[in-house]
Structure 1
Amino acid sequence: MARHAQLKADKDLPAYFAYPHSPWERPSKENTNGLIREHLPKGIELTSHQPYLDYIADELNERPRAVLGLLTPRGVSTKLLNDNVAKKA
């Protein structure tokens, strides 16, 4: 999110930053961490094998989420970006 201000201006998307040490303010992030831990348990050295890391990212981005109305994160973000592009056209 280093370029959140530019993203907000370009795509008219809001940015929210939770307070440090407040996991209740970011439940989706905490849930995602748990899903990642299914593939990369704590104490295991993070592999530098990029295809495996890409596989994990693809699996998580294609997993339906209840918080998204059982849509996938990839589908929701694609729709959001496409809708914002259409508004500006």
Structure 2
Amino acid sequence: APWQRGTDENTNGLLREYFPKTEDMNSCTKDYIETCMEKLNKCPRKCLGWKTPYELFFSKALRLI
């Protein structure tokens, strides 16, 4: 059930901001997709202890705190 997969459903909501259901994905350019991917991967997430997916995957800090 969707309410049991909070992180997945939240991520789907974030993706829908850039790629609405009414839009055809085939019309998106590679540059647009890469820009959206970079924005999403560099956005802090509560479930990751306010780190970004980028920070965890590449073991690099993006902030000076």
Question: What range describes the TM-score normalised by the shorter chain of this pair?
Answer: 0.7 to 0.9
Scaled by the length of structure 1, the TM-score of the pair is 0.58
State the partner residue of 1:4.
none
State the partner residue of 1:35.
14
State the partner residue of 1:44.
23
Larger displacement relative to structure 2 (22-31 or 65-74): 22-31
Amino acid at match of 1:68: L
Looking at CA atoms only, which structure, 1 or 2, has the larger radius of gyration?
A: 1
Structure 1 segments of 4+ aligned residues over 3 angstroms from their partners: none
State the partner residue of 1:60.
40
Deviation at 1:43, TM superposition (A): 1.2
Cα RMSD of the aligned pairs, angstroms, is 1.4
Q: Tell me: CA distance 1:38–1:71, structure 2 relative to 1, closer, same or farther (3 Å).
A: same
In structure 1, the gaps of 5 or more residues are 1-21, 80-89
Q: Percent identity?
A: 38
Deviation at 1:31, TM superposition (A): 0.7
**Distance in 2 (alpha carbons) for counterparts of 1:48 and 1:26:** 28
Deviation at 1:48, TM superposition (A): 3.8
How many residue pairs align between the two structures? 58
Deviation at 1:24, TM superposition (A): 3.2
Amino acid at match of 1:52: Y
Secondary structure of 1:43 counterpart: coil
**Distance in 1 (alpha carbons) for counterparts of 2:37 and 2:7:** 15
State the partner residue of 1:76.
56
